[in-house]
Structure formats: C-alpha cells, structure tokens
Amino acid sequence: MSKASSPLLKIQQLNVRYGVIQAVRQVSLEVFPGELVCLIGANGAGKTTLLKSLMGLIKPESGSILFQQKAIVSHPPHLLAKQGLTLVPEGRGIFPAMSVLENLQMGSYTRHDHSEIEKDLQHIYQLFPKLAERRQQLAGTLSGGEQQMLAIGRALLSKPQLLLLDEPSMGLAPLLAQKIFDVIKTIHQEGVSILLVEQNAHAALKLADRGYVMEHGEISLHGAAHQLLNNEKVRAAYLGH
C-alpha cells in the first residue's frame, strides 16, 4: 500500500436518505490501492446502506463517490462491476438452483480472457477446496459457510480492483468464520484492495490496515487498525472490554 498514490475509493460528505430517515450522514472515507480497510459498527449504523450506495443500488441524496478518480454516483451496478468494483452482499446472494460451477462462472460474465478465467477458477478451487469437490452440486444445498465461500469466489472471478465484503462472517460457526477471515487475509496479501464491513470488530481490526467506526449513520472514529484495537471507546463498545 502506498499512501503517495491517489485513493482507489474516495467518499466525501455522503448523505443517503430512506424517506424521512437519514441513514448515512456526511460520511467521508478513503481506501488506497492495496489496503484492507474495515468499517465496524452496530446493527443499523448505516454500513450496508453505504455499500449499496457505492454499488449504485441506492442513489445518495448528496455528496461524491470517486472510484479510480472518476465520479460513479450515477453509474448502474453492472457498469461498476466492469470497472472493477465488486460487492459480496450480506446474505451472500448466490443462485440456489444453479451449480457451484455455474455460480462461479457468473462472476466472470464481464470478461473474455477465457484462459485467464480458467486459471482464476483453479485458484478459487485452491482457496476453497470444498468448492472444487462440490462444483456440480446445486448451490442451494451447500452449508452457510460454503455459500459464503462461493459468494467470495464468484466475486474474485470478476477480477475486482476493490472488493466490498458485507458481513462475511454473519451466521457462521466460529471455525468457519475463522476460515473466511483467513481467506480474506490471503486475498489481501495477493494484492486485492478490500473494504470490509463486519460486526466482528476484533477480527476485522486484526486483519485491517485502517478502520472506520460508524454510529447512527456517521463516522465517529477512524485511524490505524492497531490504534482502534487499543482505543478505550472502541474496546468498551465493540470488543467486550
């Protein structure tokens, strides 16, 4: 990660409203190339709304979003995916009636480099051996942890410049959650920039370079992940100390 470079993602003074409720208020956030940045906060803090705004699923009321130094606020999701912005949504969003392999192939629909796609597919199988074993199985018959692996694998096949992960450990048993965090660490070490939204604040801050704390739609704290891990307010609110 080089802070001398321009931010890959730059959000400035973003406001998002659901009818009369302001879900995101004056949020500014940056992700630099090669960084893993986490966004932590309680349920209902506005984290998922922020990700949906980034992906063009919700139109912000005001503010700006720059991705690779280009304004993307009015861009539809399929164009953002082509530009290298990929979301693994909360709840995974897999296609249950399609096979594991077909789900993975959906991730590469914007690509035409067939030999590279095949190479990337084999890499996904190395990251997630269970998916290789079950490539012909219907995705809807996988366990929750395997479905999360599938959702991440599908996203990686789009060759993201920035991977957005929304609550990847939600609903998983501790051992499976740890497996997911281990894979996120590996993906990051391979050079993928990541914005991780996660309720498990301790695990997220352990992985991240920097972190932001979101409360009631606003960023209340941000800084180096190791500083937030040792911040008394963060420890009291999110780390159980």
Question: What would the pLDDT profile of 163-189 be if each residue is shown by its tens digit?
Answer: 999 999 999 999 999 999 999 999 999
Q: From CA 58, how far away is CA 118, in angstroms rounded?
A: 33
pLDDT digits (tens, 9 = 90+) for 57-105: 999 999 999 999 999 998 998 899 889 999 998 887 899 999 999 999 9
For the chain, the structural domain boundaries read 9-84+160-238, 90-147
Cα–Cα distances in Å, from 17 out to 53, 61, 217?
A: 11, 6, 10
Per-residue pLDDT for 3 more than 80? no
How many whole angstroms separate alpha carbon 109 and alpha carbon 1? Answer: 29
> Can you give the pLDDT at residue 1?
47
Q: Look at the domain 9-84+160-238 and name its fold.
A: Rossmann fold (3.40.50)
Per-residue pLDDT at 241 exceeds 60? no
As given in the structure block, the two tokens for residue 230 are 């040792």
> How do residues 115-132 score in pLDDT, each as one tens digit?
999 999 999 999 999 999
Of 196, 142, 123, residue with least CA distance to 164: 196
Encoded tokens for 74: 């009015």
